[in-house]
Structure 1
Amino acid sequence: MGMLQIGLTGLMAARYQLDTASHNIANANTEGYSRQRVNQSTQFPQFVGFGYIGRGALLVGVERAYDQFLQGNLLAATTRYAQAQHYQELIAPLDNLVADPDAGLSPALQQFFDAVQEVADNPESIAARQSLLSQGEVLTARFRLFDARIDEIRQDVEQRLDGVAQQVTALARNIADLNQQILQASTRGAEAPPNDLLDQRDQLAKELAGLIGIKTVIDDQGMMSVFIGSGQTLVQGVASATLATEADPGDAMHRRLTYQFGGSGAPQVLPERLVTGGELGALLAFRREGLDRIQDQLGFLATTLALAFNAQHQQGYGLDGVTNRDFFGGVPSTQTFTGDQGSNLTVGWATPLDVAAMQPASFEIRYDGSNYTITRLHDGQSLYTGATLPATFQGLTLTGTLNAGERVVVRPFPAQGGTLAVALTDPRAVAAAQADPTSATGSGPADNVNMLALSSLQTTKTLFADASGIPTATFQTTWASAVAELGTLARSVKTEATASKALVDQVQATRDSYAGVNLDEEAANLIQFQQAYQAASKTMQIAQKLFDEVLAIAQ
């Protein structure tokens, strides 16, 4: 190989170096792009008798700046931050709703019991009684407003679950398609990887990590496999899975995730506990820890207030001499829930009524063919295991039968927040008197003994019995605790969002410093490669001149 050919190899090397540097500069702002460089080495030298003479440059491949460890850290940080960010976005409006000092439940409760006390002070006053009915309407309307707003948020969450599941499916399909393209483009061998396609696939994996927690594995052929949950395959080779949502036949309040790989077989239920990270994890966690919990607590307060107030109100007499009337309505004594195989279970208040034993919770009931198990959903506590029903627990009685393997979620309280209403329309029906005011033995319209007992419900500890059966909370403190619990969760989520944002920024900066494009460095490379190109050209010019001189001598 002569001087001309050696110069040509240098010229070609400099040209491709210039092309690659230009490509880096053009993609400096392309998200997910990794800096590329041309690897070159020397040609195998030629032995010329007295030694080896070099034969120029050899281009051996185009390499991208990539670190698998950094990429894995970036995916983990991305999925963590996405979950915290979306969770914070979801919980903030709910927290603001229940914690509103002016439009919240606490002021409505206070105004209601103020009206109760006014009737106790003036039991014969029709105006005071009408005011009590009006404040009762305000209070129940506030419950219904809160419940309706929570239902709106819930509907949005369910719709977003479906939308995110579709996005996960689409990204998984795109990754599988890129696997196919990468496989086809890699037929020239490992020294010629399709770097831009690899970057595109990594960027899709990052977007996917923003939707759901994933693990990725690259095989010997350069194919990316993606796993979710406890190892369910989302992408393998050129095949991908489909995520979707469907109505949960055992839980009327929730939609559930389904999983189907490769388009074959029936979709399988993807257990909620297996889905963490990303927007999907945030939606499920918020639904479980935020929405379900506060709606349980709202309905629990509506139910226990109505049951306790009605129980005392039934003991008194209205001005018309009628007793045993409810003040509140909209709280059914029994509710029926359908299992995922079509069986029905009925839940009602235990006899005798014991509101102090009740808890703001929903329950999952399963039957394995031998035993029923009752599990409290928000904390996973097992409450009952037995071969048969009925079962009495936490102030409730559960009856019915399930088929072997059947499951049903029983939610005794959430509906009551949206159905609570004032049952009375006539102010004379307010039962302020302990005895019939129309009887000869009664105390007349001025009797306020029963109304004093109703008024005392504001400050009497009525709920959450301790181990000794002694109630430990009032209605006001119960709701205050619920608001505080949600507020604590919201602050915790905000703290996590701040911390995870700092982490993802740090990991992204580390990745960019390693694999990103530095424009100053690339500008310097352009000058270097330009000079190399010019020098190689000069070498070829000299070779041509020498060749011309040889021809001239020969002539």
Structure 2
Amino acid sequence: MGSSIFSIGLTGLNAAQAGLVTTSHNISNAGTSGYSRQNTVQSTNPAMFTGAGFFGEGTKVDTVKRAYSAFLTNQVLSADTKFSEYDTYNTEISQIDNMLADATVGLTPAIQSFFSGVQEVAANPASVPARQSMISTSQSLVARFHNLSERLDDVRSGVESQIDETVGAISSYAKDIAEINNKIIIAQQAGSNQPANDLLDTRDLLISELNKLVRVSTNVADDGSMSVFIGTGQPLVIGTNATNLDARPSLSDPTRLDVNIIASNGSAIPIPESLLGGGKLGGLLSMRTSSLDAAQNQLGLIAVGMATRFNAQHALGQDLNGNLGTDFFTQPDIYVTRNALASTAFSKDDVHYDDISKLTGDDYRITFTDTVGNYKLTRVSDGATIPTDTGVGLRIDKPTSSNVGDSFLIQPTRYVAGTFGVAITDTRMIAAAAPISSSAGSEGLLSTIGSSATASISAPAVLSSDKFASLAAANTVFSFSASPDTLSITGLPSGMKVSYTDASGTVVGPSALSSIPYTAGMTVGLWHATGATTNQQDVSFSFTGTPAAGDSFLLRGGTPNKGTASISAPVVSDTTNLSALKAGYTTLSYNSSGMLTVSNLPPGMAVAYTPLNGTQTVGSPVPYSSGMSIAFGHMSGTDFVSEVSFTVSGAPSVNDRFNIGANTAGVSDSRNAVLLGNLQTTKTLLSASGQPSATFQSVYSQLVSAVGNKARELGVNRDAQESLVQQASSAQQSLVGVNLDEEAANLIRYQQAYQAASKVMSVASKLFDQVLALGQ
């Protein structure tokens, strides 16, 4: 019995010692990150049967168990990876939000300043300082676009760098977890499958840190190893084998990094972004795709809109040199990036802007489906197939041959803000005036009689009004005869002299002449003497083309219109025949039938008229009605395309004339500058129901609002998720965390158990000694 008591005391002593060791280990690791509280698990030894029943044989320690709950751990992992994603996304987008919404460095003040410069030219078209101010504000606008683009490029560079670092860290954690798996397998096999608690804690800590980088899910095998999957189930660690990941330039867009699985043979297998979510990597990828790409594209959309719309209107104007307007801003470029595996001959020269109001700021991928250039167009943001390229504001020229499967990335707006520029530096080249003017009446007008339509005479430039009355009353005729080609002059006022340019361009005269040799493109001037050897030029005009024998050209005057009708200033909307309209002088004459007959309209042009509150009709003569709109244009198939339009109002009298011709006095004309200024408030972008729905500034406002709302949303989600992380962590720590007060109580408990077990052994020893003494 003594030996039995002794054995029982010894088991109690061992159990108490195990409890003291475990408690001491807990206390020592109370501050260790990832440590889970441990405790011993005891059970009774098998009892010994006697005739008097079963007598206990003490206790044994079955295992040392760590406090662990897979449910609570998964809750923490789920909350933590989402928080990390929100926190990363919020940090990055805040940079864009602060920049775009800033009242000083944002785009809105620059747009307003630029259009203020345009309005100043509209108010003072002849003012060189006003024109210089317009160029200066345009350069400031371009600089603002460049600054914003460069800042977004900096953000993108930072995001790509973090993606590279994060992918490298994920691979490193994968290798560490695989090594820990190997150690756990060895340790648990050596220890009769007893849990290797400290190694399990180390592995859980690695999983927790990895989960902050990318969402993970796990599965524990029978041998104790843990397989780790990332994103939507991509294997990262299987047993003791780790997948090697690397961030490499995308095959379809080398400017951005793709996450790749590196196979054993060294080949890279890209992982689609949609399969990677959660954690820092998920936040970076989401921010890059959903916000950064969109911000750069929308900023570029505004630049495309301003460049194309402003240039188009500027081309409809006339500068101080009398020339039609040229591009005010540099033409934007569409970027086309070849997939690294593609070989089809296709480039940016094959993609053109069509209707920019249909541009949305999206990128597209064109994939060739056969060998003769047919293709499928998809939107990159959501993978949707686009029925036609024209529906997105682009026109794509099909190659004559293609390779099936070859793809190209089309970015219509991505880089435009960074390449936006001013094309004009000469103030005289600002096309503030309209190239076409109108007048009512017939004084000093040049018209042709019996022309073969193969030659024309320009509108006269009046250089002196001294002899204007004589010229207006004279009806001077220039009659063409051939062999040799000559213009005979009749009806020239007394004392007037003539000059002309010969075939070499030399000015001959002025002198008293009744005929002059004809040369296509020649300039003729009419003069009067101001002294014995001095002359003053009164009128100049030019001839072009090849007239037929008998054609005559009349320089005549007349009287003002007798009716009360007036003609509005023409509005130019197309440049197809603008040069021909400027070279001639088109007239509308009112006759007794109530019709306006059109004379000298350039070949190939058509007339359309629209009565007030009526429908448009193509054809002439024009039945007159007050307030009607008349347009000169051309036919495109069965459709009429307006080039110049104006209105006629009031009550005309028979033989009243209305004239459309070149604007020869455009220095103080600001009609086109007014139209340029109107672009600030004109809806030109983001077509909705077939009509543009947004101005330049409203598109920018939408961009600022979208980024701001997303930043606000992420901030709210981040704070809410942080609270969830704290709750989940608190619940987990209440189970696995070390409570020093509790451990101190355990120390006392195990100390007392140790002392009691020692007392049992002491009693057993004395009893054994007594038994020995009986035998002496």
- Normalised by the length of structure 2, the TM-score is 0.68
Cα RMSD, aligned residues only: 2.1
The answer as to 2:282 corresponding to 1:252 is: no
Does structure 2 retain, via aligned residues, the 8 Å contact 1:337–1:408? yes
- Counterpart residue number, 2:293: 292
- Counterpart residue number, 1:494: 715
Opposite residue 451 of structure 1, the aligned amino acid is A
- Counterpart residue number, 2:310: 309
**Deviation at 1:310?**
0.5
SS at match of 1:59: strand
- Counterpart residue number, 1:408: 408
5+ residue gaps, structure 1? 386-390
Change (3 A) 1:352 1:222: closer
- Counterpart residue number, 2:431: 431
The answer as to 2:675 corresponding to 1:453 is: yes
Instruction: Give the share of equivalent positions with the same residue, in percent.
Output: 41
Does structure 2 retain, via aligned residues, the 8 Å contact 1:347–1:412? no
- Counterpart residue number, 1:149: 151
Alpha-carbon distance between aligned partners in 2 of 1:316 and 1:363, rounded to the nearest angstrom: 35
Change (3 A) 1:86 1:78: same
Change (3 A) 1:335 1:7: closer
Larger mean CA deviation between 479-488 and 187-196 belongs to 187-196
Cα-to-partner distance string for 1:297-324 (whole Å, 9 max, x where unaligned): 0111111110000111111122122323
Larger mean CA deviation between 392-401 and 348-357 belongs to 348-357
Alpha-carbon distance between aligned partners in 2 of 1:63 and 1:402, rounded to the nearest angstrom: 67
- Counterpart residue number, 1:388: none
- Counterpart residue number, 1:518: 739
Within 5 Å, give how 1:73-472 maps onto structure 2: 73-188=75-190, 192-260=194-262, 263-264=264-265, 266-329=267-330, 331-332=332-333, 335-343=335-343, 344-347=345-348, 353-369=354-370, 372-384=375-387, 391-399=389-397, 400=399, 402-435=402-435, 440=461, 441-467=663-689, 469-472=690-693
Does structure 1 retain, via aligned residues, the 8 Å contact 2:318–2:666? no
Alpha-carbon distance between aligned partners in 2 of 1:97 and 1:454, rounded to the nearest angstrom: 28
Alpha-carbon distance between aligned partners in 1 of 2:410 and 2:336, rounded to the nearest angstrom: 8
Alpha-carbon distance between aligned partners in 1 of 2:365 and 2:351, rounded to the nearest angstrom: 18
Does structure 1 retain, via aligned residues, the 8 Å contact 2:353–2:394? no
The answer as to 2:7 corresponding to 1:9 is: no
Alpha-carbon distance between aligned partners in 1 of 2:158 and 2:726, rounded to the nearest angstrom: 30
- Normalised by the length of structure 1, the TM-score is 0.94
**Deviation at 1:402?**
5.0
Q: Return the structure number with greater strand share.
A: 2
Alpha-carbon distance between aligned partners in 2 of 1:265 and 1:313, rounded to the nearest angstrom: 56
SS at match of 1:444: coil
Alpha-carbon distance between aligned partners in 1 of 2:131 and 2:342, rounded to the nearest angstrom: 47
**Deviation at 1:421?**
1.0
**Deviation at 1:214?**
1.4
Opposite residue 665 of structure 2, the aligned amino acid is S
SS at match of 1:421: coil
Opposite residue 172 of structure 2, the aligned amino acid is A
**Deviation at 1:85?**
0.7
The answer as to 2:60 corresponding to 1:67 is: no
Q: Per chain length, whose mean CA-contact separation is higher, i.e. which structure has more relative contact order (CA < 8 Å, sep 6+)?
A: 1
SS at match of 2:347: strand
Alpha-carbon distance between aligned partners in 1 of 2:764 and 2:742, rounded to the nearest angstrom: 33
**Deviation at 1:265?**
5.8
Change (3 A) 1:432 1:383: same
Alpha-carbon distance between aligned partners in 2 of 1:354 and 1:192, rounded to the nearest angstrom: 72
Change (3 A) 1:230 1:439: farther
**Deviation at 1:117?**
0.2
Alpha-carbon distance between aligned partners in 2 of 1:76 and 1:95, rounded to the nearest angstrom: 28
**Deviation at 1:153?**
0.8
Does structure 2 retain, via aligned residues, the 8 Å contact 1:431–1:450? yes
Cα-to-partner distance string for 1:43-98 (whole Å, 9 max, x where unaligned): 11112331221111111111111111222222111111110111111110111111
**Deviation at 1:216?**
0.4
Alpha-carbon distance between aligned partners in 1 of 2:130 and 2:436, rounded to the nearest angstrom: 19
Does structure 2 retain, via aligned residues, the 8 Å contact 1:349–1:396? no
Alpha-carbon distance between aligned partners in 1 of 2:74 and 2:158, rounded to the nearest angstrom: 32
Change (3 A) 1:339 1:392: farther
**Deviation at 1:509?**
0.9
Alpha-carbon distance between aligned partners in 1 of 2:184 and 2:430, rounded to the nearest angstrom: 78
- Counterpart residue number, 2:729: 508
**Deviation at 1:406?**
2.9
Does structure 1 retain, via aligned residues, the 8 Å contact 2:342–2:407? no
Opposite residue 723 of structure 2, the aligned amino acid is A
Change (3 A) 1:212 1:432: same
Alpha-carbon distance between aligned partners in 2 of 1:554 and 1:278, rounded to the nearest angstrom: 78
Alpha-carbon distance between aligned partners in 2 of 1:92 and 1:298, rounded to the nearest angstrom: 17
Cα-to-partner distance string for 1:371-414 (whole Å, 9 max, x where unaligned): 632222234432137xxxxx434221223465323332211111
Change (3 A) 1:531 1:133: same
**Deviation at 1:515?**
1.6
Change (3 A) 1:44 1:353: closer
Change (3 A) 1:439 1:243: farther
**Deviation at 1:347?**
4.6
Alpha-carbon distance between aligned partners in 2 of 1:20 and 1:89, rounded to the nearest angstrom: 43
Does structure 1 retain, via aligned residues, the 8 Å contact 2:308–2:331? no
Change (3 A) 1:445 1:264: same
Alpha-carbon distance between aligned partners in 1 of 2:167 and 2:309, rounded to the nearest angstrom: 44
**Deviation at 1:351?**
7.6
Larger mean CA deviation between 391-400 and 507-516 belongs to 391-400
Cα-to-partner distance string for 1:406-451 (whole Å, 9 max, x where unaligned): 3322111111110111111111211111138999342332110110
Cα-to-partner distance string for 1:272-328 (whole Å, 9 max, x where unaligned): 111111111111100001110000001111111100001111111221223231111
SS at match of 2:703: helix
Alpha-carbon distance between aligned partners in 2 of 1:324 and 1:523, rounded to the nearest angstrom: 90
Does structure 2 retain, via aligned residues, the 8 Å contact 1:186–1:194? yes
Match of 2:760 among 504, 516, 539: 539
Opposite residue 280 of structure 1, the aligned amino acid is L
**Deviation at 1:219?**
1.2
SS at match of 2:243: strand
Larger mean CA deviation between 93-102 and 543-552 belongs to 543-552
Does structure 2 retain, via aligned residues, the 8 Å contact 1:345–1:398? no
Alpha-carbon distance between aligned partners in 1 of 2:772 and 2:182, rounded to the nearest angstrom: 55
Alpha-carbon distance between aligned partners in 2 of 1:273 and 1:9, rounded to the nearest angstrom: 59
Runs of 4+ in structure 1 off by over 4 angstroms are: 188-191, 347-353, 368-371, 436-439
The answer as to 2:479 corresponding to 1:481 is: no
Change (3 A) 1:499 1:33: same
Alpha-carbon distance between aligned partners in 2 of 1:513 and 1:221, rounded to the nearest angstrom: 29
**Deviation at 1:249?**
2.4
SS at match of 2:346: strand
Alpha-carbon distance between aligned partners in 2 of 1:120 and 1:177, rounded to the nearest angstrom: 75
Alpha-carbon distance between aligned partners in 2 of 1:431 and 1:411, rounded to the nearest angstrom: 31
**Deviation at 1:329?**
1.2
Does structure 2 retain, via aligned residues, the 8 Å contact 1:318–1:436? no
- Counterpart residue number, 1:31: 33
Alpha-carbon distance between aligned partners in 2 of 1:540 and 1:519, rounded to the nearest angstrom: 31
Alpha-carbon distance between aligned partners in 1 of 2:105 and 2:404, rounded to the nearest angstrom: 47
**Deviation at 1:10?**
0.8
**Deviation at 1:264?**
4.7
Does structure 1 retain, via aligned residues, the 8 Å contact 2:434–2:666? no
SS at match of 1:373: strand
Does structure 2 retain, via aligned residues, the 8 Å contact 1:335–1:348? no
